[in-house]
Structure formats: structure tokens, C-alpha cells
Amino acid sequence: MRLDVKKTYKLFIGGKFPRSESGHTYELTNPKGEFVANVVLASRKDARDAVVAARAAQPGWEGATAYNRGQVLYRIAEMLEGRREQFVAEIRELTGATEIQANKEVVAAIDSWVWHAGWSDKVDSVAGSMNPVAGPFFNISTNQPTGVVAAFAPQKSSLVGLVNTIAPIIVTGNAVVVVASESLPLSAITLTEVLATSDLPGGVVNVLTGKEKDLSPWLASHQDVNAVDLEGTSDPVDLEIRAAETLKRVIRPGAFSRSGSLGSLQQILAFMEVKTVWHPKGH
């Protein structure tokens, strides 16, 4: 009989797979209480490293053409489709879901990537404008990514909630540091293997596993984070107050549904800034 080669579950920061600098892990069990894996318990230093990686990657990702970003997101869907069985198995192992249930979640996640991919080069057509000002001026409003976002994936979803958290942030050129569900982190970690093979530049998505409560105060008050998505947090009021110190954009829990294959344009726009440019017309 051959012994399985088991996977070491690690973090995903700057396109690499480090262990926590703290060396801490926590034990993950299935609904029957049986051991599944030791998962990295990310420290606040890991969170800071992830923000640095996100900041470094963001301008290049924003500077990529919308067509290119759309293709990368579509590529993520392709890679996820190819690994569908692995995700289904992991979801079933950790949650006890039936094959049909688990498959439904993975399919929704794949389709959500496809839905979001198509938005990259359409956001400004729908949400930008040429403004008819009362004077001889060219005046245009476009949307620009906010920058670096710290996001907390929903706690009760393995994959689709995470995808519906990451995709609307990165499709327009933001970079994200996302904290996975504490009890359901396996899909998040496996998703990083998909991301790493999808032509997504390292650092655009950084995934931390561990305790939301340990990480969220540091990310919400981090000076170099522009927006926080508080969906999967347990004390959002405290975090909103911390975020207010640097006037971060705050997405309160429950603001958007994250369980389906269709996202929300408003969620995409929540991580964008409207920029208006004026120029005289003359001569």
C-alpha cells in the first residue's frame, strides 16, 4: 500500500508561499472532529508583509490594460475548472457537504470569475461619463481603483464567498490582502495555487489564514491600506472606527450578497474612485 503525500498548507504573499514568520499553526478538523490539516496562523507581521507586497504590485496591475486584466481573471476561471474535483473534495472533507452541494459552490465560484472578468473593460462605459459643463471645456469622469484593500472573506463559505470577495476588488486594478475563513480555509489555500498559475502578477492577491480577530485590528488601522471589506469580521464597529483614522473606504458586513455566480457592479465600484479631468477647448 502506498502512503499519500499530504499537502503543507501555507500563506500566499507576493506570489510566494511562505510559512508564517511566527511559526504558528492551528489544527483544522472535520465535522466529526478528525484531524484534517495544520494551517498557518498568520501573525500581524505577516499581515504587514502582505500589505507591502500588495502595495508594490498594485501600480503594475492597475497599469495593465483592462483587456489583459479581463483575460487573467478568465484564466483563473479556466484553472479553477480544471481543478474542480479537488475543490469539491476539500469542501466535502471540511464541511461534510454532499457532492451535489459542493459542486454547486465550486461551479458558482468559477462562473463568478467569468462574470467579473467581463467587467474589466466595461466599468467606465457604464459608470463613467462625459460631462456637459456650461463652458468651453472637455470634461470626463472615469473610475480608478482605490489601491490596496484589506478584505475578510465570509466565515461560512468555503470558496464562492471568497471569490465574490476577491474578484470585485482586483478586476479593476486594486491589490488585496484577504483573510480566509478561519474554519474553512482549505479552498482559499488551494485557490492560491490556482492564482499562482493564472498569470496574475505576484502580490495582487495575498491570502492569509489564521484568526480574523488577531489580524483585523492591524489591517483596519494600517496606514497604507485604502479600503477595508469587513464582511467576515466579528467586531465590525470597532474596525470601522479604526478605519476612520485614515478615512478608509469601509464595506460593512452584509452590504453585498456573495453566494451566487453573479456579482454586483456596486460592489466593484465600492473599490473605485471617480476621477474627473477638465481641459479647455479652444483655438
Partner 1 sequence: MFEYAPAPESRALVTFQSSYGHFIGGKFTKPSNTYQTISPSTEQVLAEISTASAKDVDMAVKAARSAYEKVWSKLSGAERGKYLYRIARIIQERARELAIAETLNNGKPIKETRDADIPLVAAWFFYYAGWADKLDYAGFGVNPKAHGVAAQVIPWNFPLMMLAWKIAPALAAGNTVVLKPAETTPLTALLFAEICQQAGLPDGVVNIITGFGQTGADLIAHKDVNKVAFTGSTGVGRLIAKQIAGTNKKVTLELGGKAANIVFDDAPLDQAVEGIINGIFFNQGHVCCAGSRLLVQESIQDELMKKLKRRMETLKLGDPLDKNTDIGAINSKVQLDKITKLVKLGVKEGGEAWAPNCEIPKKGFWYAPTVITGVAATNTVAREEIFGPVLSVLTFRTPAEAVAKANNTPFGLSAGIWTEKGSRILKVADQLNAGVIWANTFNQFDPASPFGGFKESGYGREGGRHGLLAYLKGDN
Q: Which residues bind partner 1 (CB under 8 A)?
A: 126-127, 129, 131-135, 137, 139, 141, 144, 146-147, 226, 236-237, 240-241, 243-247, 249-250, 255-257, 264, 266-267, 273-280
Which one, of 17, 54, 110, 74, lies nearest residue 222 by Cα? Answer: 54
Nearer to partner 1, 82 or 260 (CB): 260
Least distance from partner 1 to the Cβ atom of residue 113, Å: 20
Least distance from partner 1 to the Cβ atom of residue 133, Å: 4
**Checking DSSP bridges between strand 272-280 and strand 35-40, what pairing results, if any?**
unpaired
Q: Is 161 exposed, middle or buried (0-12, 13-18, 19+ CB in 10 A)?
A: buried
Least distance from partner 1 to the Cβ atom of residue 75, Å: 25
DSSP 8-state class, residue 3: P
> What is the full DSSP assignment across 133-157?
-SSSEEEEEEEEE-SEEEEE--TT-
Least distance from partner 1 to the Cβ atom of residue 118, Å: 18
**Checking DSSP bridges between strand 137-145 and strand 148-152, what pairing results, if any?**
unpaired
Nearer to partner 1, 194 or 270 (CB): 270
Least distance from partner 1 to the Cβ atom of residue 146, Å: 8
Nearer to partner 1, 43 or 226 (CB): 226
Nearer to partner 1, 30 or 139 (CB): 139
Could you tell me if 155 and 181 are in contact, meaning their C-beta atoms sit under 8 angstroms apart?
yes
Quick one: which H or E segment has residue 26? strand 25-29
Nearer to partner 1, 150 or 191 (CB): 150
Which one, of 80, 57, 65, lies nearest residue 206 by Cα? Answer: 57
Nearer to partner 1, 21 or 273 (CB): 273
Which one, of 96, 228, 106, lies nearest residue 159 by Cα? Answer: 106
Least distance from partner 1 to the Cβ atom of residue 259, Å: 12
Residues facing residue 206 across a β-bridge? 177
Nearer to partner 1, 91 or 272 (CB): 272
Rounded CA gap, 163 and 254, in Å?
16
Rounded CA gap, 248 and 167, in Å?
20
Least distance from partner 1 to the Cβ atom of residue 141, Å: 5
